[in-house]
Amino acid sequence: MDTRSLHNLVIPGWMVFELHLNYSELRIYALIYGFSQGGQGEFYGSLQYLADWCGLANASNVRRVLNSLINKGLMRKYTDTELTKNGHIKRKIHYQAIVPENMWKEI
């Protein structure tokens, strides 16, 4: 069984009616929000994971949607680098959903 079958995606009404996102933006925002509620967590999964969950063809489409959310001030992107044991540089990118200030009253 695919592990995604064991998870769910919750899309609260305020995301639908207040943020005015398109279908792909809404699904990716909601998915990452699930990992980062309350500003305590972040999404460390792959772009392919997001593509699979949201029905997008590839990671390039996911990047486009993430950049749109970042430009709208709804997503924060972090980049970490580390040196591996064999001397290579490994870059990790993770994301955090940002809830607009005016939404905190309604949540």
Express each pLDDT in 5-51 by its tens digit.
556 788 999 999 999 999 999 999 999 998 887 667 889 888 999 99
45 Cβ partners below 8 Å, 6+ apart?
Answer: 35
Nearest to 72 by CA among 35, 98, 36: 98
> What pLDDT does residue 1 have?
47
Averaged pLDDT for residues 89-102? 87
Which tens digits make up the pLDDT trace of 55-71? Answer: 898 999 999 999 999 99
